Amino acid sequence: MFLSLTRLRLRRWRTFFAFMPVSQRCIDQAVADPACFGVATYAGPGFTFWTATLWRTEHDMKQYLGSGAHRVAMPLLREWCSEAATAAYVDAEGLPSCAEMLEMLSARAKFVGVREPTALQSSRVVSPRKPWLRRVFKEES
C-alpha cells in the first residue's frame, strides 16, 4: 500500500479555528474513499499537525488530493502555515506510531511552499519535536 505523510505548523494560533473544520472535512473525505485503508492524525507542540493516510495506490492518493475538500484546502495552507512537508512510502504495511511518524517524515521530507516560512522550513529541516497525540479514524487490513 501507499503511505502518504504530512506535517503542518500553523503560523498563528488564530488560524486554528479556521483550520480545524477544513481539516475535518479532508479527514471525512479520506475515510469515505474506498481506496483509502487508513487515516490517522497526530498533534504536536507549537500548533503542529500531522496526517498519515494509507492508500491502495499512489494514483488513488493523487485523485484524493485533487478533489473535494482536499482540493479546497490546499491553497489555504500557503497562508495558514509556516512549515509544511510531505513524504511518501510505497509498500507500507500500516499507519505509523508517533515516534515512527517523525522518523519517516524526516527521512523523505518534501517541503511545500508557505508565505512566511520559519527558519527550519527555509533550511528544509523537519523540527525534531515529535507528535505526541495520535487519533486513528480508519484502519483496515
CA pair distance 110, 7, nearest whole angstrom: 10
pLDDT of residue 141: 67
* Domain boundaries along the sequence of the chain: 2-139
- pLDDT more than 90, % of the chain: 99
CA pair distance 51, 26, nearest whole angstrom: 10
pLDDT at 108 over 90: yes
> Cell 483509502 identifies what position?
36
Tell me the pLDDT tens digit for each residue of 55-95. Answer: 999 999 999 999 999 999 999 999 999 999 999 999 999 99
| pTM (two decimals) | 0.94
Alpha helices in the chain (DSSP H): 16-32, 58-65, 68-80, 98-108, 119-123
Asked if residues 49 and 26 have their Cβ atoms less than 8 Å apart, the reply is: no
CA pair distance 107, 48, nearest whole angstrom: 18
How confident is the model over 124-133, as a mean pLDDT?
94
Q: Supply the angle between the helices 58-65 and 68-80 in degrees, to the nearest 10.
A: 70
Helix (H, G, I), strand (E, B) or coil at 93: coil
Q: pLDDT band at 140, cuts 50/70/90?
A: confident
**What's the CATH fold of domain 2-139?**
Alpha-Beta Plaits (3.30.70)
CA–chain centroid gap for 29, Å, is: 14
CA pair distance 40, 134, nearest whole angstrom: 7
Tell me the pLDDT tens digit for each residue of 39-54. Answer: 999 999 999 999 999 9
